[in-house]
Amino acid sequence: MAYKVLAIRDRELKQNQREISIDEIAKELGVEKEEITLCLDAIQQPISLQEPVYGDGNENIYVLDQVKDKKNTDELWAENITISEAMKKLNDKEKMIIGKRFFEGRTQMEVANEIGISQAQVSRLEKSAINHIKRIYK
């Protein structure tokens, strides 16, 4: 499939001196555009993370410097497991409130209105859930 796509791109470039879009290629081949993208990705030459992408003679910047994942560090992974395990130990109402408050970013008033209790009750349940988690992991 990838070689068919490349042949179509080359033909279009030679005949019309323009780059053909992925949508046009997908339509010509009768496939979804995601399939075109996937097959082109599959034939890309891999590069080393140690490959320099910029250098001024003194210092180089490597591919690794450009793709470093600050979001999925080992520390964050461990924290997520701990939080997940702690959530399992809460009752259903506490899980729901903690989930809405801290994972969905809702206010106490929004949670209260959504589940039909007062904001004060949400506050008490939230505090109780947090204390429960603290007791578990002391």
pLDDT at 118: 94
Is domain 89-136 classified as CATH 1.10.10?
A: yes
Per-residue pLDDT of the chain (138 residues; tens, 9 = 90+): 999 999 999 999 999 999 999 999 999 999 999 999 999 988 988 888 788 878 777 788 888 777 766 666 666 777 777 788 888 889 999 999 999 998 899 999 999 999 999 999 999 999 999 998 888 776
Task: Give bridge partners of residue 54 from the DSSP assignment.
Answer: 61
2-67 and 89-136 in the same fold:
yes
Rounded to a whole number of angstroms, the distance between the first and last alpha carbons of the chain is: 57
The model's pTM: 0.45
Rg (CA), the chain: 26
Domain positions in the chain = 2-67, 89-136
Read off the amino acid at residue 130. Answer: I
pLDDT at 9: 94
Q: Which residues contact 136 (CB under 8 A, 6 or more apart)?
A: 86, 89
pLDDT at 55: 78
Helix/strand/coil for 117: coil
As given in the structure block, the two tokens for residue 77 are: 């992974």
Domain made up of 2-67: CATH architecture: Orthogonal Bundle (1.10)
